[in-house]
Amino acid sequence: MLIDGEWVAAGDGGTFTSINPATGEKWAVIPEATAEDVDCAVRAAHRAFLMGPWGKMSATQRGHCLRRLADLLAAQSEALGEIETRDTGKLFAETRWQAKYISEFYHFFAGAADKIHGETLPIDKPDMFVFTNREPLGVIAAVVPWNSQLFLAAVKIGPALAAGNTIVMKASEHAPAALLEFGKLIAQAGIPDGVVNIVTGHGDPCGKVLTSHPMVARVSFTGGPGSARHVIQNTTENFAELSLELGGKSPFIVFEDADIESAVNGSVAGIFGASGQSCVAGSRLLVHEDIADEFLKRMVKIAQAVTIGDPMAGETEMGPLCTYGQLENIEREVARAVEEGAQVLSGGKRANAGS
């Protein structure tokens, strides 16, 4: 874990194992943060905010750090993409591209660092002077899910640092390796110790202690509604600011005058990307009744032609699910749907690689 600029093991030596979902092999051993570890990370971020060189840097200097981080990320996109693929099962073509694309986010926030401003409302009192002064909040706690850790880290770390805050990131216990590897770039970018901290572990105690810590000024959470309920409760005692980005069930809507071929291709890409494990996946399909039969016929044909296999291989179009628990959950959902009268048009059972 990255705490106060140092790579540290868990205080009690605890670890958990990361599994490559494509092979089922254990490939990484990750520290299991204790409550004390998380407390150390938050206190390090708090010290860095109040007493470290970060608070003395100008907005332009912070922007330079973010710009260097962006360049380092782009240069390491291949390695970071490979690690994320091994950890999540997402296609290497996707993770490599995404890692390189994410660097643009840091360039954007680097440019925004010295352009943060507010609006001052005029007042009709001639003997009064009114102005607006924007100040950083302090320590930001950020919690991200496994399915796009580098991307989601970028949209949390980037604006937090641009505004002069410090941050403690909690990586998902399901696939934390890529975010830890990214952490190696922090010092190289010239970002001072303690400004960015990364802890790994499960929701309790790691996430619980982080989101309820009295030194945390704001919590930014991306994940499911179940975990969000706990996060909301954790933040109330200290009145920490809170932003939630929760899972979605995005509808893919097709009208009767649509280009059916384009719509079918779009719907398949929307749900098969990342094996459907995305909050922006087109997980609901609403098709006008006049074209429904033809649409489904074409969709089944394309779905049956999708190549499933090794996510590192260029010809693979869909890799494995991230965890065995997700596989079992999908099997239960399919069985329940059939019991309720649904008709399986394709699949409905575990697929074999290469099919």
| H or E element at residue 77 | helix 77-88
DSSP assignment letter at 309: S
- Specify the amino acid at residue 347: G
**CB proximity list for 111: less than 8 A, separation 6 or greater:** 63
> Does residue 179 contact residue 169 with C-beta atoms inside 8 Å?
yes
- At residue 18, φ and ψ (nearest 5 deg) are -95, 130
Q: Annotated active-site positions, please?
A: 245, 279
Contact present, 174 and 72 (Cβ < 8 Å) = no
Q: Which two structure tokens, joined as six digits, stand for 230?
A: 């706990």
CB 113 within 8 A of CB 47: no
- Please state, in angstroms and rounded to a whole number, the distance separating the CA atoms of residues 254 and 110: 39
Closest C-alpha to 299, from 341, 274, 335, 270: 270
If you count DSSP H runs as helices and E runs as strands, how many of each does the chain have, helices first? 11, 11
